[in-house]
Structure 1
């Protein structure tokens, strides 16, 4: 082992939005030829990690099989409905009740302790939802970096100024008096719902178990994890995230996590030819969690028809949702539907993609912004509302309301503005420059390697 090097351990819980930025980081490290890198995640991610190209040494460590019942992408339509309709406070309560499994978290904590003892890492990089990983590093006195794939204010919510938009509220930075009142009600509602007797008893029992295990941050407070971390890597920049006075000095805003080298995939050859052939394409993609309803699918088919013949539409629609489409012969000729894409960033990098219509999740927003693509956003739950209002304020997006039966006229009108008004492409170009100045995955890798070397030198 060369002087100054040490083992680097990446820990991730496995959900796509948390996993993808860390996979991009691991890919950059392997591309640079970095050795002694370990990636701990649930078993379904093994092939993704082991398939990364490069001359470095990257090995997968198992956190065991995934618990699908805590993964949003595996919940049924009724569970999704509870979290995406009605009160945002109730949405959050339903999310917590469904996604938090304290027994599983403790099992992963114990597994992480075993992995730390096995690898003896000099530094760890842990996703912000993997409390078990941060706890294990703290117990074993391993320096760690927190990977923050949501807006950093969302992660650091227990230490925000009272006048700041409460996470999950979807409120803007500069609020009217009525919005300020709504912000207070939202904040009070979140606290009240967590204090309901059943939830309070469950959380109290979990905290007692953690204390008995010697875990320092027994209440899993984000601010305490942030204080213990060497750095927090946030995949955005201020301006696309609202600034806040309580941001820790260790917060590094590195921009979008997009691979440094986008190599055209053999599987994408036909799609590239299609994109090459059409000068103006609207790309629609709502991630792995959103479940378009029959009425939503019908509305977007109508939107595509209304954009013809000047604009074409590429829609990534999961196979189980394609049953809501009309027969292929009855679809608009300008619409192409795919259940899977070899690479979303390869699509967004194509010069003919003029607008990205998405659900306002952080990775989607920032990948499009990295390539200077204006966006239409339809936020459907939780932090998507916060991402949407920030990107609208930044001038790179317009928003439409999430509804079971979307307003076709409104969607067509806003797409028309994004496609024809230069201000949106100009603003998107501005944020493209600022994100690239932040450095993206290259800066993230530099920060991690510098901290690894400092820890080794000790």
Structure 2
């Protein structure tokens, strides 16, 4: 792209979901900074430190107050009740979590509006996390070009006939290829099952937006009207046809990562078969679940399937670790996860299957025993299983022996399938990780298109990557009128043929 005399200003916006949601955006921004872009970062109060590792950020904008730690802990604790949206399951925790993560919309919308109204501060492009709906509002109100980052293919969008149910919320199966009739039917019936919660959620969102004077609804079609960058690749995610403005560019990985330090360094050098355990920063394991994992790991050590465990664990469960812990188990507040996974002594990863952990596991070729808790973790666990590199355990329905058996299966790997599939995905992931540069290319491409089709604040053409069907009535996009003409013509032909036959005979 031919740069103008002044730097293009890119605004990166991340508000909810924690630092792992912000890092992929900042990695793309880092590439664009090397191409001459000025990078600014916007987030909630108290989250400014997410930008500390990125010195190229020229300015940080505070979009509103951060969530109080006690409120955040309580909300994530409630998310532990999350269940897959099966028939007869209570889906309220799913929508409670969604409403909690979107509750900052009023302050974010107001702050971004002020920023957009300032001609000297207005960004030329906004790159945002998928949870920041206010950015889509800025796109609609101020015609600023945007790109939304998703950790998986957008939930509830991009349907395909061979993907049963609600995309991103599938139950048990990711595609219809090997699904039973009942599995396919159950996924379709879930659409009806969750309808009461969906109506309640949309009513809540509508009232929240109305209080801010916004009566316009957010787009809800099957395809996005803006650029979507997805932090995945088609050896883990289910391949499907995509519109031109949706691009899988993952796994988005940092070029460098922290090295092993003490006490992890000494421990991992002394133990030849390490099981690494980590459940992210927000997950608050219930005591029963924590104990099942602990007991399962002790069985693994006693059976000499592994000779060491490194568990990155916060202070919540320290009360359980005071007595009776095996000397071959190391508990740390923080572990340099990628360095642990990259070490040849690490044989398996027990994880919640968050997107960052999923990407890091496949990038470093480590099999995963997943205990998914909420959000896309349930589908990530299925993805790892379908890719042949993981065994999922249901958090509501596993015991210590189940965990020990799963770890034993991936470590001993009697058939060699886990090893071969880990090597296969590792190779693909390392090639696919280069696509973060393609993500930066697409942002430049969309910006060039935007600047070229807006003349004197008038939009002369639609977005070049948007497929035409998004701008057409459904009957025309699906050729229903042509089918109707064909049916009528066929009927007239049949009728005329019969009349002629009767006439002559």
**Structure 1 length-normalised TM:** 0.85
Q: Does 1:399 align with 2:392?
A: yes
Q: 3-state DSSP class of the match of 2:46?
A: helix
Q: Name the CA distance, whole Å, in 1 between partners of 2:375 and 2:17.
A: 15
Q: Determine the structure 2 residue equivalent to 1:284.
A: 277
Q: Determine the structure 1 residue equivalent to 2:325.
A: 331
Q: In structure 2, do the counterparts of structure 1 residues 66 and 99 end up closer, same or farther at CA, with 3 Å as the change threshold?
A: farther
Q: In structure 2, do the counterparts of structure 1 residues 116 and 402 end up closer, same or farther at CA, with 3 Å as the change threshold?
A: same
Q: Does structure 1 conserve the Cα–Cα contact (< 8 Å) formed by 2:271 and 2:345?
A: yes
Q: Does 1:258 align with 2:250?
A: no
Per residue, is there more helix in 1 or in 2? 1
Q: In structure 2, do the counterparts of structure 1 residues 393 and 105 end up closer, same or farther at CA, with 3 Å as the change threshold?
A: same
Q: Determine the structure 2 residue equivalent to 1:270.
A: 263
Q: Determine the structure 2 residue equivalent to 1:408.
A: 400
Q: Does structure 2 conserve the Cα–Cα contact (< 8 Å) formed by 1:27 and 1:259?
A: no
Q: 3-state DSSP class of the match of 2:263?
A: helix
Displacement, 1:52?
A: 2.4
Aligned pairs (5 A) from 1:18-417: 18-29=21-32, 32=34, 34-53=36-55, 56-68=56-68, 73-75=73-75, 77=77, 79-84=78-83, 92-97=91-96, 99-100=98-99, 104-118=104-118, 119-149=121-151, 151-154=152-155, 156=157, 159-161=159-161, 164-166=164-166, 167-172=168-173, 173-174=175-176, 175-195=179-199, 199=201, 201-206=203-208, 213=214, 215=216, 218-221=217-220, 223=222, 226-227=224-225, 229=226, 231-245=227-241, 247-264=242-259, 268-308=261-301, 309=304, 310-327=306-323, 330-341=324-335, 343-403=336-396, 406-417=398-409
Q: Does structure 2 conserve the Cα–Cα contact (< 8 Å) formed by 1:29 and 1:445?
A: yes
How far does the alpha carbon of each residue in 1:339-371 deviate from its partner, in whole angstroms, 9 at most, with x for none?
223x32232222322211111222211121111
Q: 3-state DSSP class of the match of 2:41?
A: strand
Q: In structure 2, do the counterparts of structure 1 residues 146 and 410 end up closer, same or farther at CA, with 3 Å as the change threshold?
A: same
Q: Name the CA distance, whole Å, in 1 between partners of 2:388 and 2:210.
A: 47
Q: Name the CA distance, whole Å, in 1 between partners of 2:154 and 2:76.
A: 29
Q: In structure 2, do the counterparts of structure 1 residues 222 and 129 end up closer, same or farther at CA, with 3 Å as the change threshold?
A: farther
Q: Name the CA distance, whole Å, in 2 between partners of 1:305 and 1:396.
A: 23
Out of 86-95 and 352-361, give the one that drifted further: 86-95
Q: Determine the structure 2 residue equivalent to 1:418.
A: 410
Q: In structure 2, do the counterparts of structure 1 residues 271 and 81 end up closer, same or farther at CA, with 3 Å as the change threshold?
A: closer
Q: Name the CA distance, whole Å, in 2 between partners of 1:400 and 1:442.
A: 35
Q: Name the CA distance, whole Å, in 2 between partners of 1:423 and 1:15.
A: 34
Q: 3-state DSSP class of the match of 2:186?
A: helix
Aligned pairs (5 A) from 1:428-439: 428-438=422-432, 439=434
Q: Does structure 1 conserve the Cα–Cα contact (< 8 Å) formed by 2:350 and 2:369?
A: yes
Q: 3-state DSSP class of the match of 2:47?
A: helix
Displacement, 1:124?
A: 1.3
Q: In structure 2, do the counterparts of structure 1 residues 73 and 399 end up closer, same or farther at CA, with 3 Å as the change threshold?
A: same
Q: Does structure 1 conserve the Cα–Cα contact (< 8 Å) formed by 2:172 and 2:382?
A: yes
RMSD between superposed Cα atoms in Å: 3.1
Q: Name the CA distance, whole Å, in 2 between partners of 1:69 and 1:162.
A: 42
Displacement, 1:5?
A: 4.1
Q: Does structure 2 conserve the Cα–Cα contact (< 8 Å) formed by 1:7 and 1:36?
A: yes
Q: Does structure 2 conserve the Cα–Cα contact (< 8 Å) formed by 1:28 and 1:445?
A: yes
Q: Name the CA distance, whole Å, in 2 between partners of 1:65 and 1:209.
A: 18
Q: 3-state DSSP class of the match of 1:154?
A: coil
Displacement, 1:68?
A: 4.1
Q: Name the CA distance, whole Å, in 2 between partners of 1:274 and 1:324.
A: 21
Q: Name the CA distance, whole Å, in 2 between partners of 1:277 and 1:12.
A: 40
Q: Determine the structure 2 residue equivalent to 1:13.
A: 15
Q: Name the CA distance, whole Å, in 2 between partners of 1:169 and 1:70.
A: 32
Q: Name the CA distance, whole Å, in 2 between partners of 1:34 and 1:73.
A: 40
Residues paired across the two proteins, number: 437
Displacement, 1:133?
A: 1.4
Structure with more contact order per residue of length (Cα contacts < 8 Å, sep ≥ 6): 1
Q: Name the CA distance, whole Å, in 2 between partners of 1:23 and 1:302.
A: 39
Displacement, 1:27?
A: 4.6
Task: Structure 1: give runs of 5+ residues left out of the alignment.
Answer: none
Q: Name the CA distance, whole Å, in 1 between partners of 2:442 and 2:73.
A: 31
Q: Name the CA distance, whole Å, in 1 between partners of 2:427 and 2:71.
A: 35
